[in-house]
Chains A and B, each alone.
Chain A
Amino acid sequence: MAFISSGYNPGKPMENRITDIGPRHFEEFYPPVIKNNKGKWLYHEILEPGVLVHVSETGDEVYTVRVGGCRLMSVSHIREICEIADKHCDGYLRFTTRNNIEFMVDSKDKVKPLVDDLMSRKQAGGCYKFPVGGTGAGITNIVHTQGWIHCHTPATDGSGTVKATLDVMFDDFRNMRLPAQVRISMACCLNMCGAVHCSDIAILGYHRKPPMLDHEYMDKMCEIPLAVAACPTAAIKPSKVKLADGSEVKSVEVRNERCMFCGNCYTMCPSMPLADDVGDGIVLMAGGKVSNRISAPKFSKVVVGFIPNEMPRWPTMTDTIKRIVEAYAAGARKYERVGDWAERIGWERFFEKCEIDFTHHLIDDFRDPAYFTWRQTTNFKF
C-alpha cells in the first residue's frame, strides 16, 4: 500500500493547520420536520414498541423508529444505516445516548415500510441487524465500555457480555411488559469509564488479584514515582529487589491487602499487569437510577460479589440478570423502578425473591460511608 498524504506536511506541522473548530453545528443535521418544530412539540406517544410519534403545535408529526445498535459498529454497517435513511428518511438519522439508532419520518404511512425493511434485514447467523424496540417499560440497549476489544485494564469483555445479555433479554427489548423501564449498563473495570453506578442493573468487570511485579523491567519501563502515585489506596511503595542473578534493582512493593484492583498502576507502569483468567470476573449491581421521577436518583448496590468469566456467553451472569428481571416483573408495582421496589419490600426480601445468596462481600466496608449502610433500626423482616 502506498502512503497517501492528506496534505499534512510533517516538516512544517503548523503550516495551514486548522485547530479548535469544534464539532459540526447541530443545525446542519436536523431533518426539516425537526428544524421546523423545535421547541414546539406538544406531546408524544409510543405507538408500538420502538415506534414513537411526537406531535407539534404546528400540526406536524414526526414518527421515530428506534433500533438497537451495537456501539461497536463497522463502516459497512454505518453505510447500510445510511442507505436505509436515504431510502426512507430523506438522508437524516440520529443516535441516542444509549447507542440506539433513530430513524425519523414525517408521516404515519412511512412507518410500516420502514419498520418492515428494518426487521427484514438479518445477519448471516440469523441475528437482526436492526431490531426495532427499546422504548417504554422494557429493556433498552445496554450501554457499555470497550472490554477486550480495545482496553488495557478490563476484567471482562464489553461487547461479548452485552451480546449474551441482550440475546437472553431480547423479548423485553421488543416488548413493554415491565413495571417501568429497566436500564442495564456494563463497564469492564471498576474505573467505570461508562458510568454504570446508577443503573437498574449494572454489569461490572472486576479484578481480584493484585498486580504481578516484573522487577527486572520495572525501573527500565516505568517511572517508579508515577506508579507509586497512581495507587489510590497508597498500597505501592518503592523498594530494592535482589534478582536471581544477584544484581539489585529498583522496583516497587505492593501491600496486597490494600489493593482495590483498579489497574491504575498498570496504566502508569506496564510492569505491573493484573489481569488473570480466574481472578477476573463480573460483579452485578442493582437498584440505581438517574431519573428524578417520584424518588431521587440513586446508586446501584452490589448484589452479587463475583461471577466467573464464562466465555463466550456468560450463562451464570445472564441467568442471574434474568432472575432479577423476572422477580421485579412479578413483584413491582406499575411505575416502580428496580431500586424503588427493592426499598419498598426491603433488601432482605430482594435477595429472597431473586434467589441470590447474601454474602459478606455485599456488606460495605470501604471507608466512612459504609457505617451508614448498615441496618440501624429494628424495622426489618423475617
Chain B
Amino acid sequence: MAKHETPLLDQLETGQWPSFVTDIKREAESRAKNERNIEYQIPADVCEDLLGVLELSFKHGRTHWKHGGIVGVFGYGGGVIGRYCDQPEQFPGVAHFHTMRVSQPAGKFYTTKYLESICDLWERRGSGITNMHGSTGDIIFLGTTTPQLEEVFYELSHNLNQDLGGSGSNLRTPSDCVGQARCEFACFDTQALCHDLTNEYQDELHRPAFPYKFKFKFDGCPNCCVASIARSDLSFIGLWRDEIRIDQEAVKAYVGGEIPPNGGAHAGRDWGAFDIQKEVIGLCPTECMRYENGKLEINNKECNHCMHCINAMPRALRVGEDRGCAMLAGAKAPILDGAQMGTLIVPFIKVEPPYTEIKETVIEPIWDWWMEEGKNRERLGELMKRQGLQRLLEVTGFAPDARMVQEPRTNPYIFWKEDEVDGGWERDINEFRKHHQR
C-alpha cells in the first residue's frame, strides 16, 4: 500500500515511453523492502514522499519546492543546490532535498563498476534518484539532507576519485560530444580538450569568482551535437581548412543506389532513388560542387564546412586533414535581452596538448576582461554586446577578420580613436580662424 495516493501520476504509468512514475515507485519499493540491509542515511520513504509532493503539484498546478538558504561543502562555492519542501509536515522524507552535481567524465562513457559504485553511494546517503544527466552535463544526485552533503563529498573524493561539478557564478562543468571516440566527423579530440580544461580550471569551477555562470562546450564538427553554438559562453567547434577527402568509387556506389544516403537516416519512407544532383550538389549552400562524367569535384576554397555533403555520403566523403577548431563566444538562452548565438572570435586554431594558445590567448584574457568589466549577472555575450566585438578582439589580440561578421555595419557611425586619425584631435582654433571668419 503506497504511502500517498497518486491518481494523477498513476495515469503516467501507461503508454509506451518509459514511465518515470513507475521508476520512482520501483525505487520506493526497493527501499521499503531493503533486501540488502542498507543503513539508509536519509528517510527510507523519501521516494514515496517525492511522489506525494509531485502528485500535489499535479493537483495544484504549482511547485511545492522553495529555494532555501545556501548549503554546500566546505571550501567550495558550487556543486550543491539547496532545496526544501514547502509542505515538510506532510512529506517529511523530502523536507530537505538538496541536489548535488557530480562532474561527469568527458564523453559520458562508463563502466558498470563505476556506475554501481555511484548507485551504492547514492542509495545509502541520498534518495536513490538521479538525473543521467543534467542539462549542463553533470551526473545529478537528486535529494539528500544537509548532514549528508559532506559525507557524500568525502566518499566521492576519497573512495571514488570523483569531484563535484559547478553551480552558481563559476565555470560550469564543461561537456563534449562523443567526438573521435566514435565519430568519423570529429576534427579534434573533444574528450581530451574537455578533460584538460576541466582540470586546468578546477579553481574557477569550484570557487565562484565570476560575474555569472560560464560554460565551455566542445563539438567535434559543425553538426554541433552538444549545441555548443547555442548554449556555451565559449564554444569550440571542430573544423578542417584543407580539402574534403573523396572516395570516387564510393560516390558512384551512392549514385548507383548501393549505399543508402545519409547513413540510412531516411530509411523509414520511400523517398525514391538517390539523386546526387538534387540531394547533394543542389543543396550545397555555396554551390561549390559538381558531379560530371561519374566524378565528384569540390571547389574546397569555396566550401563553408556545412557538413551536408559529408553527412549525406559519409562513406564517400571525409573531413580534411588540416584540422582544428573555430571558437565562438557569447551564446546564451534568452534571459534577459533575448537569446544570443555564439559569435565567431577565432576562425581557426590548432587543438594540440597542452593547448597553451587556447588558454593563454583566448580563455584567460577573456576571463580577465569579463571579471574586470562585467556587471553582476552579466554573461559574456551581454558584455560583448555592451562593449562591442572590437573590444573583445583588443582583449584577445586576434586580428579583425571579415569571417567574424555576417555583414559589415550599415551605419557609418564609427567611433574613431584619436590615434587612428592623422595629427590627433588637438587643434588650434586661432589658426583655424585665420582662414575662417566668425
Instruction: Judge if B241 is at the interface, Cβ distance under 8 Å.
Output: no
Contact B63 A154 (CB under 8 A): yes
B406 to chain A, nearest CB (A): 9
Interface string of B123-145 (1 = CB under 8 A from A): 11100111111110100001100
Interface string of A255-266 (1 = CB under 8 A from B): 000000010001
Instruction: Judge if B230 is at the interface, Cβ distance under 8 Å.
Output: yes
Contact A7 B154 (CB under 8 A): yes
Stretch at the interface among A43-51, A239-247, A350-358: A43-51
Interface string of A343-363 (1 = CB under 8 A from B): 000000000000000000000
Partner among A46, A74, A94 whose Cβ is within 8 Å of the Cβ of B265: A46
Contact B265 A176 (CB under 8 A): yes
Given the known A-B contacts A127-B19, A176-B265, A291-B222, are A367 and B39 also in contact in the complex, defined by CB atoms under 8 Å?
A: no
Q: 9 shortest A-B CB distances, which residue pairs?
A: A136-B265, A125-B13, A167-B15, A277-B61, A177-B268, A176-B268, A148-B57, A74-B27, A195-B231
Mark A residues whose CB is within 8 Å of B.
1-8, 10, 13-14, 16-26, 28-31, 34, 38-39, 41-49, 52, 54, 62, 64, 68-79, 81-83, 85-86, 91-97, 99, 101, 104, 123-131, 135-138, 143, 145-154, 157, 159-160, 163-164, 166-167, 170, 173, 175-178, 181, 187, 190-198, 229, 232-233, 262, 266-267, 270, 275-278, 280, 288, 290-295, 297, 299, 309, 311-313, 334-335, 366-367, 369
> What is the total of A-B residue contacts with beta carbons within 8 Å?
449
Instruction: Judge if B411 is at the interface, Cβ distance under 8 Å.
Output: no
Stretch at the interface among B99-107, B287-295, B345-353: B99-107
Contact A270 B150 (CB under 8 A): no
Nearest B-chain residue to A31, judged by Cβ:
B109
Instruction: Judge if B252 is at the interface, Cβ distance under 8 Å.
Output: no
Instruction: Judge if B407 is at the interface, Cβ distance under 8 Å.
Output: no
Residues of A within 8 A of B24 (CB): 72, 74
A48 to B266, alpha carbons, bound, how many Å?
A: 10
Given the known A-B contacts A29-B105, A70-B18, are A137 and B265 also in contact in the complex, defined by CB atoms under 8 Å?
A: yes
A-B CB contact pairs (8 Å), 12 listed: A7-B155, A14-B74, A26-B181, A38-B181, A74-B24, A94-B178, A136-B262, A136-B263, A150-B143, A178-B269, A198-B230, A262-B336
Residues of A within 8 A of B337 (CB): 367
Instruction: Judge if B355 is at the interface, Cβ distance under 8 Å.
Output: no
Contact A19 B206 (CB under 8 A): yes
Residues of A within 8 A of B131 (CB): 71-73, 146
Residues of B within 8 A of A44 (CB): 183-184, 263, 314
Contact A126 B130 (CB under 8 A): no
Residues of A within 8 A of B109 (CB): 26, 29-31, 34, 92-94
Contact B334 A74 (CB under 8 A): no
Given the known A-B contacts A19-B163, A94-B108, A293-B222, are A280 and B99 also in contact in the complex, defined by CB atoms under 8 Å?
A: no
Residues of B within 8 A of A124 (CB): 13, 22
Contact A143 B333 (CB under 8 A): no
A308 to chain B, nearest CB (A): 9
